[in-house]
Amino acid sequence: MLPTIACGLLAAASFNAAAAAPVAGSKFSGAEQGSIPIAFVLTEGAVMIDFAGPWEVFQDVMVPSRGGAMADQHVFHPYVVSDSKQPLHVSGGMTVTPDYTFDDAPTAKIVVVPAQHGESPKMMEWLRNAAAHGDVVMSVCTGAFKLAKARLLDGKPATTHHSSWSRFQQEFPNVHLQRDRRFVQSDGVVFTSGGLSSGIDLALHIVDGYFGRDVAAATARQLEYEGTGWTGDGTSNVRYSEPIVVHTPADAYHDGPFGNWRGTLASSDGAFRVTVHLWPGISNKPTGTVDSIDDDVYDAPINKAEIEGTNIMFAVSEGRFSGKFDARRDAIIGTWTQGQARLPLTLLRAPGYSSD
């Protein structure tokens, strides 16, 4: 929210040089007069930036030609919809009280679905109805899982947070997952964005679709938002599909039990690339770290490690690996145990020093 009247006046002034009315050929309709209702679907655990970023974008859009009153110039009307009107807790512990339930919410032109815990049957039905009658249904981060569960993404391209790609692909094989994207247009109504700040880019892209590039650019300027991902086709500048290069003392070892090892852990949630870095620690006892690449977790410390002859064991957080070196010590064949799950894992010696 803009904190002072002065900021509001500055915002109005900044828009005077921008496009003052909906541009001809705008992607979306209903922008010429009246407010454009935007429903933010929130349940317990909704991620703050996923909804607060797009909320701020939409509520800051101003079109001076629509009238002299600030209420006329602010064209988007956001509100919160949930299963009930009981207060709910979003990430970080903030309490949000929904304005409406799925039973009494007004019809929305735009629906925003952030990452969150809830996925009631009523939510799924409401999302399908919104997609059938609205202009835009957009997800942010793992909000894409909600759209997929509502069957709005079947046979269509979509994206989500990079640490959830494997799980998303495993859970929704009929959706065409797009990696390294800020946002993806799945069809004429449905859009998905990547994680967290990607929702800001998608919201600005939607503003561009309603009122044109100049109004969207003026909104970004008012926000002092310097990202330009919204101006393109949604391709990320950063390739999140490429692992981070990790340097550890293991880089100095290229034979024997120490060094860098990598493999793929196949679970019910998908296939996850793993890199293990082992080196001698105090009193030459083995120590190291583990990278779970597709979870985007790096340098997880090994809590305990033992190497006895051809046998090796190490523990990380809630998981444990036990295995044996092959005769050439170029591979470790073993089992990863976590909770009730026991999964085969073969680690091969990784050349170089990176987790690629």
Is 3.30.413.10 the CATH classification of the domain at 249-349?
Answer: no
* pLDDT of 65 over the 80 cut: no
Burial 225-244 (b: 16+ CB within 10 A, else e): beeebbeeebebeeebeebe
Q: Which CATH architecture has domain 15-231?
A: 3-Layer(aba) Sandwich (3.40)
What per-residue confidence (pLDDT) applies to 67? Answer: 75
Please state, in angstroms and rounded to a whole number, the distance separating the CA atoms of residues 203 and 199.
6
* pLDDT of 17 over the 80 cut: no
Query: Per-residue confidence at 270, pLDDT binned at 50, 70, 90?
Result: confident
For the segment 215-231, the average pLDDT, to the nearest whole number, is 96
Query: Per-residue confidence at 277, pLDDT binned at 50, 70, 90?
Result: very high
Percent pLDDT > 70 in the chain is: 90
Please list, in sequence order, all residues whose beta carbon lies within 8 angstroms of the beta carbon of residue 307, skipping any fewer than 6 positions away.
257, 286
* pLDDT of 32 over the 90 cut: no
What per-residue confidence (pLDDT) applies to 31? Answer: 53
* DSSP helix/strand/coil, 163: helix
- Would 15-231 and 249-349 be classified into the same CATH topology? no
Kindly tell me the sign of the dihedral angle through the C-alpha atoms of 301, 306, 312, 313: negative
- CB-count exposure of residue 145 (10 Å: 0-12, 13-18, 19+): buried
What per-residue confidence (pLDDT) applies to 54? Answer: 98
Percent pLDDT > 90 in the chain is: 80
pLDDT in tens, 141-174: 999 999 999 999 999 999 999 999 999 999 999 9
pLDDT in tens, 78-104: 999 999 999 999 999 999 999 999 999
* pLDDT of 5 over the 60 cut: no
Q: Between residues 329 and 116, which one has the greater pLDDT? A: 116
Instruction: Tell me the three-class secondary structure of 2-51, residue by residue.
Output: CCCHHHHHHHHHHHHCCCCCCCCCCCCCCCCCCCEEEEEECCCCCCHHHH
For the ranges 68-77, 169-178, 223-232, 322-331, the lowest mean pLDDT is seen at 68-77
For the segment 257-274, the average pLDDT, to the nearest whole number, is 92
For the segment 16-40, the average pLDDT, to the nearest whole number, is 61
Enter the pTM of the model: 0.85
Rounded to the nearest 5 percent, the helix, strand and coil shares of the chain are 30, 30, 40
**Helix residue ranges per DSSP H, the chain:** 5-16, 48-60, 70-73, 121-133, 143-149, 165-171, 198-211, 213-223
The 8-class DSSP code of residue 327 comes to T
Mean pLDDT, the chain, rounded, equals 89
Q: Estimate to the nearest angstrom the gap between the alpha carbon of 75 and the chain centroid.
A: 27
Q: Where are the domains of the chain?
A: 15-231, 249-349
Tokens representing 283 are 């009193």
